[in-house]
Amino acid sequence: MRNPDKRLSQVLGRYMSKTSGLRKHCDRCLETRRWNGSVVLMVVDAAFTSIGLNYFTAVVPSVVKFEKELTADGKIGTLRDLSLLQPDQVESIWRNLRSWQVAKGAASYLHNLAVADNLDDRGALRRWAANSRLESWKEDPIGTINGVGITTFQYLRMMGGMDTAMPDKIVRRVIRQILEEAALDMPVQKDMELISTIERMAELSGYRSIEICWMTWMIQSEGNAIRMEKYRDLLDKI
């Protein structure tokens, strides 16, 4: 192919055109402003997402419930509060113990980082993300927490300001499809390969890695509409 970069941009552009408005959401993510800027809710979001349930029908409603019952009145207002939370206090919100271990472990580490470096919660998440390294994620203080896999690690890095991608099965399937349509042979089988390929696609196309990643989820159909249309208003709130 004479101009594979142009072909990739054209194919990717067709997919991205289905997700108008997504860039604004990705901007908030990279600015660590999701969930009205609550790092507590971002960590809870990542912890709930870590077990693989449907994000919009299972995770988001549970995070909203956590917010209404525990953060709105100040009971859990900081990462320190979250690190001290007992799972039996929140069984009615989310019953999975591993998720709470992830939330408490991440909150504890980030709180200690905040204290050590004289940062607020947002600053701690962004400091950690900026200093984290994908290639050594298993040795990272967040990566060593029981229940944190590479996908959760990447999700937290994205919310901490890093323009990268999460290597889950939907992302892999859509990226493989795009590459096939663009007649490009780029590796996607292994997690690290997939992330690198998305970052390379971003360089070639002008889109950001985070936008390509979110696009793969938002073009999935639920009922009679793709998620971007079905959850557009919700996406603007989180």
Q: What is the pLDDT of residues 84-117, one digit of tens each?
A: 999 888 999 999 999 999 999 999 999 999 999 9
Residue-level pLDDT at 73: 84
Q: What is the pLDDT of residues 128-144, one digit of tens each?
A: 999 999 999 999 999 99
- 48 sits in the region (left: phi over 0; alpha: psi -120 to 50; else beta) called alpha
Q: Is the pLDDT of residue 151 over 70?
A: yes
Residue-level pLDDT at 98: 95
Q: Which residues of 1-24 are buried (b: 16+ CB within 10 A; e: fewer)?
A: eeeeeebbbebbeebbeebeebee
Please name the residues in contact with 190: beta carbons below 8 A apart, sequence gap of 6 or more. none
Domain extent listing, the chain: 1-31+161-238, 36-160
Q: What is the pLDDT of residues 173-198, one digit of tens each?
A: 999 999 999 999 999 999 999 999 99
Torsions phi, psi for 231 (to 5 deg): -115, 20
Residue 4 — pLDDT band, cuts 50, 70, 90? low
- Domain boundaries 36-160, corresponding CATH code: 1.10.340
Tell me the whole-structure pTM to 2 decimals: 0.96
Residue-level pLDDT at 1: 43
Look at residues 63, 22, 25, 46 and name the one whose alpha carbon lies nearest to residue 156.
46
With a pLDDT cut of 90, the percent of the chain lying above it is 93
Q: Write the CA distances from 43 to 46, 132, 159, 175, integer angstroms.
A: 5, 16, 9, 27
